[in-house]
Structure 1
Amino acid sequence: MQDTLVVLAGRSLYYGGGWHHPRAGRYVETRNPGLNEPICAVAEADAADVDAVVAAARAGFKLWRKVVPLERGRILKAIAEIVRKNARELAALDAANCGNPIKEMVGDAAIAAAQLDFFGGLVTEMKGDTIPMGPDALNLTVRQPLGVVARILAFNHPFMFCAGKMAAPLAAGNAIIIKPPEQAPLSSLRLAELVEGLLPEGVFSVVPGGREAGAALASHPGVDKVAIIGSVGAGRAVMKAASDTIKPVLLELGGKNALIAFGDADPDKVADAMVAGMNFTWCGQSCGSTSRAFVHKDIYEQVLKRLPRKVARFVPGIPTDDATTMGAIISGVQHERIMGFITSAKDEGARLICGGATPSDPRLRKGFYIEPTIFADVAPTMRIARDEIFGPVLAVAPWADEAAMLEQVNSVEYGLTCSIWTNDLTRAHRTAMEVEAGFVWINEVSKHFLGAPFGGWKQSGIGREECLGELISFTQEKNIHISLTGGAPN
Structure 2
Amino acid sequence: MATTDTPAHRALPKNRGVFYGGKWREVASGRSVPISSPATGEDLGVAAEGGADDIDRAVQAAADAFPAWRDTPAQERAALVRRAAQILRDHAEELAHLDAIDGGNPYQAMYFDAQVGADYMDYFAGLVTEIKGSTIPIGPGVLNYTVREPLGVIGKISAFNHPLLFATAKVGAPLVAGNTIVLKPADQTPLSSLRLAELWGDVFPSGVFNLVTGGREAGVALAEHPKVAKIGFIGSVPAGRSVMQSASGTLKALTLELGGKNALIACADVDPATAAAGIVRGMNFRYVTGQSCNSTSRVYLHEDVYDAVLVELEKAVKALKVGLPNDPETEVGCLSSQPQFDKVLSYIEIGKADGARLVCGGRRCEDPALANGFFIEPTVFADVTDDMRIASEEIFGPVVSVLKWSDEDDLMRRVNALEYGLTGSIWTHDLDRAHRLASRMQSGYIWINDAATHYVGVPFGGYKQSGVGREESIDELLACTQIKNVNVVIGATPTTRAF
Bin the TM-score by the shorter chain: over 0.9
Q: Which residue of 2 aligns with 1:225?
A: 230
CA contact (8 A) 2:100 2:107 kept: yes
Match of 1:307 among 306, 309, 313: 313
Output the CA distance in 1 between the equivalents of 2:352 and 2:185.
36
Task: Specify which of 441, 448, 453 is matched with residue 447 of structure 2.
Answer: 441
C-alpha distance in 2 between matches for 1:38 and 1:243 = 39
8 Å Cα contact 1:179/1:208 also seen in 2: yes
Distance 2:415 2:77 in 1: 43
1:479 to 485, 491, 494: 485
Q: Provide the rounded CA distance (Å) in 1 between the counterparts of 2:16 and 2:133.
A: 42
Aligned partner (choices 163, 166, 172) of residue 158 of structure 1: 163
Distance across 2 between alignment mates of 1:38 and 1:333:
18
| Counterpart pick for 1:345 among 342, 351, 355 | 351
Match of 1:387 in 2: 393
Partner of 1:88: 93
What SS class does the counterpart of residue 471 from structure 1 fall into? helix
Q: CA deviation at 1:489?
A: 9.6
Find the partner of 1:256 among 256, 261, 269.
261
8 Å contact from structure 1 (residues 138, 483) kept in 2: yes
The 3-state SS of whatever aligns with 1:224 is strand
Could you tell me which runs of 5 or more consecutive residues in structure 2 were left unpaired when the two chains were aligned.
Answer: none
Amino acid across the alignment from 2:269: D
Matched-pair contact (CA < 8 Å) for 1:227–1:251: yes
Q: Is residue 62 from structure 1 mapped to residue 67 from structure 2 by the alignment?
A: yes
Deviation (angstroms), 1:487? 6.1
CA displacement at 1:152 relative to structure 2:
0.3
Using the size of structure 1 for normalisation, the TM-score is 0.98
Matches within 5 A, 1:201-216: 201-216=206-221
Distance in 2, Cα, partners of 1:5 & 1:19: 21
1:423 positional shift: 1.1
CA deviation digits over 1:384-427, x for unaligned, max 9?
Answer: 00100000000001111111111111111100000001111111
Any stretches of 5+ residues in structure 1 without a counterpart?
none
Which of 288, 291, 305 is the aligned partner of 2:294?
288
Secondary structure of 1:404's counterpart equals helix
* Alignment partners' CA distance in 2, 1:144 and 1:400: 52
Residue 169 of structure 1 corresponds to 174
Q: Provide closer, same or farther for how the CA distance between residues 401 and 19 of structure 1 changes in structure 2, counting only shifts above 3 A.
A: same
Cross-structure match for 2:337: 331
CA contact (8 A) 1:345 1:383 kept: yes
- Residue 230 of structure 1, CA deviation: 0.3
TM-score (normalizing by structure 2)? 0.96
Deviations 1:185-217 (A, max 9, x none): 010111111011111100001110000000000
Partner of 1:120, secondary structure, is helix
The answer on whether the counterparts of 2:265 and 2:300 sit within 8 Å (CA) in structure 1 is: yes
Instruction: Please tell me whether residue 134 in structure 1 is matched to residue 146 in structure 2.
Output: no
Task: Give distance in 1, aligned partners of 2:456 and 2:159.
Answer: 20
Contact 1:146 1:476 in 2 (8 A): yes
Q: Which of 350, 354, 364 pairs up with 1:358?
A: 364
Equivalent pair of 1:295/1:396 in contact (CA under 8 Å): yes
Q: Which deviates more from structure 2 when the two are superposed, residues 479-488 or residues 436-445?
A: 479-488
Q: Does 1:405 align with 2:418?
A: no
1:213-244 deviation digits (Å, cap 9, x = unpaired): 00000010010000100000110010000000
Distance 2:275 2:13 in 1: 44
Counterpart contact for 1:31–1:183, Cα < 8 Å: no
* 4-13 vs 255-264, greater mean Cα deviation: 4-13
Q: How many residues align?
A: 490
Paired AA for residue 347 in structure 2: F
Between the aligned partners of 2:424 and 2:29, the Cα distance in structure 1 is: 45
CA distance in structure 2 between the partners assigned to 1:475 and 1:351 by the alignment: 50
Task: Give the secondary-structure state (helix, strand or coil) at the position aligned to 1:201.
Answer: coil
Question: Does the residue aligned with 1:139 lie in a helix, a strand or coil?
Answer: strand
Deviation of residue 181 (structure 1)? 0.6
Please report how far the alpha carbon of residue 38 of structure 1 lies from its aligned counterpart in structure 2 after TM superposition: 2.4
Question: Secondary structure of 2:156's partner?
Answer: strand
Whether the 8 Å contact between 2:99 and 2:164 is mirrored in structure 1 is yes
Q: Say which of 457, 464, 469 aligns to 1:463.
A: 469
Contact 2:141 2:495 in 1 (8 A): no
CA distance in 1, matches of 2:479, 2:495: 39
**Amino acid of the structure 2 residue aligned with 1:67:** T
Deviates more, 1:113-122 or 1:302-311: 302-311
Distance in 2 between residues matched to 1:42 and 1:322, nearest whole Å: 27
Change (3 A) 1:135 1:462: same
Match for 1:318: what amino acid? L
Q: Which amino acid in structure 1 is aligned with residue 468 of structure 2? A: I
Contact (CA 8 Å) 1:257, 1:290: kept in 2 or not?
Answer: yes
Could you tell me which residue of structure 1 aligns to residue 36 of structure 2? Answer: 31
Matched AA of 1:42? A
Aligned counterparts of 1:278 and 1:401: Cα–Cα separation in 2: 24
* In structure 1, distance between residues paired with 2:310 and 2:293: 24
Q: Could you tell me how far apart the structure 2 residues matched to 1:377 and 1:489 are?
A: 73
Show CA shifts across 1:156-185 (max 9, x none): 010011011110000100001110010000
The whole-number CA distance in structure 2 between the counterparts of 1:131 and 1:418 is: 39
Cα distance in structure 1, aligned partners of 2:414 and 2:472: 29
Are 2:340 and 1:318 equivalent residues in the alignment? no
TM-superposed CA distance for 1:5, in Å, is 3.7
Give, in whole Å, the separation in 1 of the partners of 2:128 and 2:318: 45
1:133 is displaced (CA, Å) by 1.2
What is the CA deviation profile of residues 33-59 of structure 1, one whole-angstrom value per residue up to 9, with x for unaligned ones? 001232111101111111111100001
Question: How much has 1:257 moved relative to structure 2?
Answer: 0.1
CA contact (8 A) 2:261 2:393 kept: yes
| CA distance in structure 2 between the aligned counterparts of 1:450 and 1:443, rounded to whole angstroms | 19
Conserved? CA contact 2:142–2:494, under 8 Å? no
1:430 pairs with 2:436: yes
Alignment partner, residue 45 of structure 1: 50
What pairs up with 1:365-376 in 2 under 5 angstroms? 365-376=371-382
CA distance in 1, matches of 2:177, 2:487: 23
Note if 1:275 corresponds to 2:280. yes
User: Which digits, 9 at most, give the CA deviation of each residue in 1:97-126, with x for residues without a partner?
Assistant: 100011111111000010010001000001
| CA apart distance, 1:136 | 0.6
Q: Secondary structure in 1 aligned to 2:14?
A: coil
Question: Which amino acid is 1:60 matched to?
Answer: A
Pairwise CA distance, 1:79: 0.8
Report the residue type matching 1:186 in the other structure. L
1:488 CA displacement: 8.5
The answer (yes or no) to whether the contact 1:11–1:42 under 8 Å persists in 2 is: yes
| CA apart distance, 1:486 | 4.1
Q: Which amino acid aligns with 2:133?
A: G
Q: Which runs of 4+ in 1 moved over 3 A?
A: 1-7, 486-490
Tell me how far 1:353 sits from its aligned partner: 1.1
Letter in 1 for 2:186: P
